[in-house]
Structure 1
Amino acid sequence: MTVYSNKEQLLASLSAREASYNPEVKLQYGPMEKTYHTALKKDSYPYVHYTYLSVVYALDLLDSRLPDYAERAAEIVAVILQLQDRRQDSPTYGIWSYYYEEHLDQMETPDWNFADFIGKKLVLVLKHHGDRLSEGLRQGLSEAIGRACQAIVKRDVGPSYTNIAAMGAFVTLVGGEVIGQETFVEYGRNRLQRLYDYTVRLGTFVEFNSPCYTPITMEELRHIIVETKDPTSIKLTEQLLHIAWRMAAERYHPRTKEWAGPHSRSYSPMLEKYPDTRALHCPEELLPYFSTEEERYIRCPIFDEDEAGYQSYATTYLQEAYCLGSFSKDMMWNQRRNLIAYVDNQGKVAYAQLRFLKDGKDFSSAVFTGVQDKSDIVFGINLALDFGDWHPILDPVNGVFKAEDLRIRIEIGGYIEGADGDSGNKLDYDAAVVIGGQTVRVKQLSALSDEGVPRITITRSEQEDTLSIDYIIYEGPRKPFDFHEWNQAAWAYLFTLSERAEELQAGSEYKDGSLYAWCEKQGRRMGIAIPVKPDRIGQLFRNSEVSFMTEDV
């Protein structure tokens, strides 16, 4: 049940959270964190009461088995039950809002995932602690779980939304068992089978290699194994858990203790916490990956091509001192890590990450295409007409916006003590940055843009503790942009990371509306082709091409 390995840790955590409990509201409170769904603003609501953190707190209180904590947990659960949408004719029936201060009807876009996140905790509360709660509270929990299950069934998330597909399977399968609703059990069983079939056919999770969400998926899968009575579901889940662990273990970089990229979703370039191999029962045969320093070179498809209409590949290269990963096609959302490296810098870790920035924030409407051969990557960026600003869907701009700054950045952060940047070198790169014993090198192969050729700068930010190689597309007074009117918006680059630079030949050409960029070494060539004119994102993905290293020039 609990994520804590022993009772002492659990009690210490509960003690630390004591100051954040409001006995009047009977919920946990804290500083409001910016989210995609809430309409609340930090200026007006600097502190808020959290629904999810409160139900997590309640379950932990009960898991402690201390009598004094049981009463507080019951008070919290009673409030949580009241905050669920119980209106049967409501479009948000069965889910919760983020905050006590904000009703579901007031949110910009209610988050349906909260039927899963809060529902799973209520299932564990009722299953493991129902005998310690009043009959009225037990009945209320049963009804709330039923409503959450209905919301999950109604939404019917597909297997490509990995962590929610697994979490919803847990809530409906185990929740159905707990409240005696066979229809939910059957749905949960079928949902798990769909996730299994889809994942095995693809060979990995679509929510690929995510440092923040793969551990959640692991936790949900482990919960299913421990909590369900269904032997078929247990067998399927054990195999899914093995796939999750293999994906993570193969990409663990022992020297830097980082999770090698690329990452489908990540909230920070640096890894804050790795999945606990003991608590989540990592398979024995995968444990050596976490301690063995060896060269690994992995490439795999991450989409169902028939479903998506195109394919993207994830490439990861690891050697003792660094790791480097990239996707072949993706948007440049702030949660994506399309090109990211981790480097050992004097026993600590630095990272190098590609970003496309609009007024200092990642711009979702920028589209990445890349091809990687171990330490070398050729990549290009073009622009979508039907996508978002800082969020791909919830914050649409559709190619029309105002800005005072547009730039492509290679950001180097983490521990950058001693990192030294230089513009240009004898190997004809635009910029080079030495990190530890390795060197990041970048070269612009082509810039086809209505704004002209970007200006190159190397800057160090003491405040952010970063060093950045910037290709500035526009910097000046705030002005309107309309990509529908642009004829050209495509940029191509060569990125390398190595102890010493290899002799590489690289170039580009424009032909029939596409920008071709390539890199050649030792008789082998790789390259990309991307549309130059902005287009709908689906068309950009389908029309962009990648060719991996071949033996023929």
Structure 2
Amino acid sequence: MTPAKTQFSLPDDFNPETLMVAKVTEFGVFHEVRRAAHLAADLVANGAPADLDLAEQILAQVLDRQEHDPADPHHGNFYWMREDEFVEDLNAVEFVLEALIPMMIRHAARLTPALQERLLAAIKLGLMEVARLDVLVAYTNIAALGVLNTCLGGELLQTPEIATRGFGKLLAWIDYTNRSGHPLEYNSPTYTAVTLRSLKLLTDLTADAPTRQAARALTARLGLSAALHIHSGTGRWAGPHGRAYQPTIVCETAPEVERLRAWLTDGTLPRWLASFVDRPMASFSIQETAERSRGIALTTHQTPTFALGVASQSFHPQANVLMLHYARPNAPRPGVLYSRYLLDDKWFGDAYHATDRTKMLNLPDEGRFLGVQEVNRAIGLYAQIGADHFASAKGVLIWTGRDEIDEIWVGEECITELPHRLDVDQAVVVARR
């Protein structure tokens, strides 16, 4: 007799009234539609009778949040939050289909025929929106999701022209990356993860051998870069970062080396990259190029105790164009130094992030940056860009853990009180324990 399947353990923030996971921010309680789609897919994969019953209810809620008005310019897309009244984030369709299409390929037979029919219709409608949006391959993580959904969606719907379009986008993305050396969203702890997850699903589920081979090749290319940027002394993903969020920047999340080890274990990354992830401590430099037409280059120098990274120029307000990670023995997390250009004395808690409905994820860089690095030395220049009216503008170097600063010297003077006004030609030395 086959033992009964254990019921899936729901997350603590699951709301049984809304049938979605609740997200609490300083602006209220929200429910992400994409998270609901992924939770439903997990329930279907687990397959216990109670899980399947709940999954059907959740999926009904997800499908009710698809835009069904043919007159709407984003017909077929999804609302980002249950509370939304229209499509606010155009990427929602990609993140929802990322859950629904693999679920249908793997476990469609576990769902009732009526729901299967409704899901297939929703997927077809969503893929029409994906085709209309046709994001540039430079938009790395969304292009990756688009490739995944279009290739697998075409196979699921038995519509070869859709799958062929997805394969063409994959080849265009690879060609773009080969010309530039690295995706535009270069060396991003957040978005490289989205990209590699998409390529893993595509590799696992596509029935097309050329698609699978191309996805594997691109995975190895991106994975090698990620592995080389893991700093052995801290376990962190060394900068510069094309895009990243505040919890990652200040090391509030788990060390990224753990994520890469998990990718090696589950097959997201090829096993031969293990020797790069867990390598002996050494001193070396990595130089790569990203968007060729913009002249973006990135340099990272690593030693056993620190990793310094600088980008040649900025391209996105979420970028970390100048970044230092350094080991702090017996401390819960490493030290971090990074730069920003800020207008009107903005600080943490001032920038609203619409996708996550919070002001706690970003401190956007508001300036134009030019940088150059030679081994452990770097020069960074900031200039004002994109604002006509402001009261103040400043370049900022930010250290995590101000209370851990030992001494600040300006010239030959030790500074004991802050703030301290500097002359233009004065040199500053900051000592950390």
TM range (shorter): 0.7 to 0.9
Q: Secondary structure at the match of 1:382?
A: strand
Change over 3 Å in CA distance of 1:121–1:347 after alignment to 2: same
Change over 3 Å in CA distance of 1:201–1:495 after alignment to 2: farther
Change over 3 Å in CA distance of 1:177–1:184 after alignment to 2: same
Tell me what 1:156 maps to: 134
Q: Does 1:354 align with 2:339?
A: yes
Q: Does 1:323 align with 2:307?
A: yes
Q: Does 1:94 align with 2:76?
A: yes
Contact conserved, 1:331 with 1:366, CA < 8 A, in 2? no
Q: Secondary structure at the match of 2:22?
A: strand
Q: What one-letter code is carried by the residue in structure 2 that aligns with 1:326? A: V
State how far apart, in whole Å, the 2-side matches of 1:495 and 1:247 are.
34
Tell me what 2:20 maps to: 27
Q: Which string of whole-angstrom CA distances, capped at 9 and with x for unpartnered residues, describes residues 63-91 of structure 1?
A: 22222111001100011111101222211
Contact conserved, 1:376 with 1:496, CA < 8 A, in 2? no
- Aligned match of 2:328 in 345, 355, 358? 345
State how far apart, in whole Å, the 2-side matches of 1:364 and 1:492 are.
24
The aligned runs of 1:58-457 (5 Å cut-off) are: 58-104=40-86, 110-268=88-246, 269-271=249-251, 272-273=253-254, 274=256, 275=259, 276=262, 277-291=264-278, 292-305=280-293, 310-331=294-315, 333=317, 335-348=318-331, 349-358=334-343, 359-361=345-347, 362=363, 364-384=365-385, 387=386, 398-401=387-390, 403=391, 406-413=393-400, 418-425=404-411
State how far apart, in whole Å, the 1-side matches of 2:221 and 2:395 are.
35
Q: Which string of whole-angstrom CA distances, capped at 9 and with x for unpartnered residues, describes residues 504-549 of structure 1?
A: xxxxxxxxxxxxxxxxxxxxxxxxxxxxxxxxxxxxxxxxxxxxxx
Q: What one-letter code is carried by the residue in structure 1 that aligns with 2:375? A: K
Contact conserved, 1:299 with 1:315, CA < 8 A, in 2? yes
State how far apart, in whole Å, the 2-side matches of 1:214 and 1:311 are.
21
Q: Secondary structure at the match of 2:197?
A: helix
Q: Which string of whole-angstrom CA distances, capped at 9 and with x for unpartnered residues, describes residues 309-367 of structure 1?
A: x302101000110000010111572x210101000112441001112223233454411
State how far apart, in whole Å, the 2-side matches of 1:172 and 1:25 are.
30
State how far apart, in whole Å, the 1-side matches of 2:284 and 2:83 are.
49
TM-score, L = length of structure 1: 0.67
Displacement of 1:417: 6.6
Q: Which string of whole-angstrom CA distances, capped at 9 and with x for unpartnered residues, describes residues 170-204 of structure 1?
A: 10110111122222111111111111111122222
Contact conserved, 1:163 with 1:216, CA < 8 A, in 2? yes
Q: Secondary structure at the match of 1:253?
A: coil
TM-score, L = length of structure 2: 0.85
Q: Percent identity?
A: 23
Contact conserved, 2:241 with 2:320, CA < 8 A, in 1? yes
State how far apart, in whole Å, the 1-side matches of 2:241 and 2:129 are.
29
Contact conserved, 1:219 with 1:280, CA < 8 A, in 2? no
Contact conserved, 1:380 with 1:492, CA < 8 A, in 2? no
Tell me what 1:526 maps to: none
Q: Secondary structure at the match of 1:96?
A: coil
Question: Which has the larger Rg?
Answer: 1
State how far apart, in whole Å, the 2-side matches of 1:175 and 1:493 are.
60
Change over 3 Å in CA distance of 1:495–1:260 after alignment to 2: farther
Q: Structure 1 stretches of 5 or more lacking a match?
A: 1-10, 33-41, 388-397, 432-455, 460-468, 474-490, 500-553
Please tell me the root mean square deviation across aligned C-alpha atoms, in Å: 2.8
The aligned runs of 1:515-530 (5 Å cut-off) are: none
Larger relative contact order (CA 8 Å, sep ≥ 6) = 2
Q: Give the 4+ runs in structure 1 shifted more than 6 A.
A: 469-473, 491-499
Q: Which string of whole-angstrom CA distances, capped at 9 and with x for unpartnered residues, describes residues 289-310 of structure 1?
A: 22221112111221122xxxx3
Contact conserved, 1:410 with 1:470, CA < 8 A, in 2? no
Change over 3 Å in CA distance of 1:221–1:498 after alignment to 2: farther
Change over 3 Å in CA distance of 1:182–1:341 after alignment to 2: same
Q: What one-letter code is carried by the residue in structure 2 that aligns with 1:72? A: L
State how far apart, in whole Å, the 1-side matches of 2:282 and 2:130 are.
43
Contact conserved, 2:410 with 2:428, CA < 8 A, in 1? no
Displacement of 1:101: 1.4
State how far apart, in whole Å, the 2-side matches of 1:146 and 1:299 are.
42
Contact conserved, 1:370 with 1:379, CA < 8 A, in 2? yes
Change over 3 Å in CA distance of 1:136–1:351 after alignment to 2: same
Displacement of 1:223: 0.6
Q: Which string of whole-angstrom CA distances, capped at 9 and with x for unpartnered residues, describes residues 396-447 of structure 1?
A: xx4224x4x5432211115x77531312245xxx99xxxxxxxxxxxxxxxx
**Structure with more strand by fraction:** 1
Q: What one-letter code is carried by the residue in structure 1 that aligns with 2:342? A: L
**Structure with more helix by fraction:** 2
Q: Secondary structure at the match of 1:356?
A: strand
Contact conserved, 1:167 with 1:217, CA < 8 A, in 2? yes
State how far apart, in whole Å, the 2-side matches of 1:410 and 1:311 are.
24
Displacement of 1:93: 1.0
Q: What one-letter code is carried by the residue in structure 2 that aligns with 1:344? A: A
